[in-house]
Structure 1
Amino acid sequence: MSLSFLLLLLFSHLILSAWAHGETRPAPRGRPGPAAAGRNPGGSGGGGTASSSSSASASPAAPSGGRGGGSEQSSFQWSPSGRRTGSLYCRVGIGFHLQIYPDGKVNGSHEANVLSILEIFAVSQGIVGIRGVFSNKFLAMSKKGKLHASAKFTDDCKFRERFQENSYNTYASAIHRTEKTGREWYVALNKRGKAKRGCSPRVKPQHVSTHFLPRFKQSEQPELSFTVTVPEKKKPPDPIKPKVPLSVPRKSPNTVKYRLKFRFG
């Protein structure tokens, strides 16, 4: 009995010494030890406040390296309003689409292609600019009335857009015109698709060479409608037709019976 009691005392002494050794072990930096956390949960010292302030300061900086607003803003494509993308069709001759080349040449093509894709944007009230989407150059008219493509947008690239009675548009230079008469210079194509000089006396707003029809691809508007399922109408059963015999017996007429009377004597 005494031997077991001594073994129990020795085992308890070993457990107490091990627990005391673990409590006195120094805690790592930046993280409070178990004794400090148990004795002072409020943290009047600088450890608790420092850790909270460091975590608060580190949290806003975390999204900048991850999926932050910077990556979303870079992938977002801004679509400016007031810009129309399409082609300008001139009905002169067999019909031509105005096209702008990267080398500065301007003419017309019967078939629409990438050079005829234009972007028309508003500059001011009634004044527009025309840019070739493929060539990335602006339609311009020089002082001599010649049409060409300009890499920079200047006053020569400004045109006055007017809607005609025949549903066609005309584009006149906003700054160049005949000084003596004040006649405006218009964008025009001849019957072979070549650009005409705006200062030519034959270029008039009444002529078909100056009439252009904007052909823009409109975005499809959502159809404001709804569908209703109509229950199918059940067809009434066909009435049973009486079977008609092939031969119908004739109705016999009313017969009259005569009785013979015999008289004797």
Structure 2
Amino acid sequence: MSFPSFCFLILFLLATSNLWTSVSAAAPKQKKIKGQLAKGSSNIKRTILSSSASSSSFSSASSLASESRDSLWSTAGRRTGSLYCRVGIGFHLQIHPDGKVNGSHEANHLSILEIFAVSQGIVGIRGVFSNSFLAMSKKGKLHATPKFTDDCKFMERYQENSYNTYASATYRTEKTGRRWYVALNKRGKAKKGSSPRVKPQHISTHFLPRIKHIEPPELSFTVTVPEKKKTLHAPAKPKTVKPPPKKNSSPVRYRLKFRFG
């Protein structure tokens, strides 16, 4: 074998050995990268599963919240005042602690009512003094109850004459679909909503909300005006009063004149 061919063989062997060492060193790095990728994919799967679980829990919580909102009355849109019915001589709807509902000509503590919103177009009416809710039974009779139920929900509608009507949101006539309204007769007694005479066109079902609007306090401020410095004036000299001129007090001499005949 010649010397140049021998040198070429040695260089070839050295090159192949360096290539093999580089390949063997890169193999564990690739394994590490693959392991890191596997761990990242597992973490991504865990986050996806946790997000899906949280979304499911949020949806269940929202459903429970909606159910609780339907079962309980909302505190939004409260109005405190009285409901004036223009039937007869005019009556204010009042709720008694014993569950009785009627009208009074003069407003009193029993006629102070709180009208609050339950849902869109549906309101509830509570007596502030009696702490009872206005309700309508299955037979259309008005009464008061300490607990808020579906019987306490009424549909509030504005009429053309600026009066409101309150119809039961739960009960109505099944055959004709006529609604049952809150109404008072000429003597101030509560009418049955199921009566065919109780109609939204009659004045016995017209109520005027007399709401007490609380005016916000006026913003006022005080301005302090600096006091003017008093200038010290020199005391005025007393005026000298001139005495009146003295009269001539010298005696006057008279000469006697004698006349002879």
Which TM-score band applies after superposition, normalised by the shorter structure?
0.5 to 0.7
Matches within 5 A, 1:41-60: none
In the alignment, which of 134, 142, 154 is matched to residue 139 of structure 1?
134
The residue type equivalent to 2:186 in the other structure is K
Give 1:219 shift. 1.8
Q: Distance in 2 between matches of 1:218 and 1:167?
A: 18
In the alignment, which of 148, 151, 170 is matched to residue 146 of structure 2?
151
The residue type equivalent to 1:125 in the other structure is Q
For the residue of structure 2 that corresponds to 1:140, the secondary structure is strand
The residue type equivalent to 2:88 in the other structure is G
Is 1:100 matched with 2:95? yes
Q: Rg larger in 1 or in 2?
A: 2
Give 1:200 shift. 0.4
Unaligned stretches of 5+ residues in structure 2: 1-74, 220-261
What residue is the counterpart of 2:202 in the other structure? 207
Q: Say if 2:94 and 2:101, in contact at 8 Å, map to a contact too.
A: yes
Give 1:222 shift. 6.2
In the alignment, which of 88, 104, 108 is matched to residue 113 of structure 1?
108
Deviations 1:44-96 (A, max 9, x none): xxxxxxxxxxxxxxxxxxxxxxxxxxxxxxxxxxxx54100000000000000
TM, length-normalised to structure 1: 0.54
Q: Say if 2:81 and 2:114, in contact at 8 Å, map to a contact too.
A: yes
Is 1:91 matched with 2:86? yes
For the residue of structure 2 that corresponds to 1:156, the secondary structure is helix
Q: Distance in 2 between matches of 1:115 and 1:123?
A: 23
Give 1:221 shift. 4.8
In the alignment, which of 176, 186, 198 is matched to residue 171 of structure 2?
176
What residue is the counterpart of 1:129 in the other structure? 124
How many percent of aligned residue pairs carry the same amino acid?
Answer: 87
The residue type equivalent to 1:217 in the other structure is K
Matches within 5 A, 1:191-202: 191-202=186-197
TM, length-normalised to structure 2: 0.54
Q: How many residues align?
A: 147
Q: Say if 2:76 and 2:117, in contact at 8 Å, map to a contact too.
A: no
Q: Distance in 1 between matches of 2:122 and 2:179?
A: 14
Give 1:124 shift. 0.3
For the residue of structure 2 that corresponds to 1:195, the secondary structure is coil
Relative distance call for 1:222 and 1:135 in structure 2 (3 A) is closer
The residue type equivalent to 2:137 in the other structure is S
Give 1:220 shift. 1.9
| RMSD between superposed Cα atoms in Å | 1.7
Q: Distance in 2 between matches of 1:107 and 1:118?
A: 13
> Displaced runs of 4+ in structure 1, greater than 3 A?
221-224
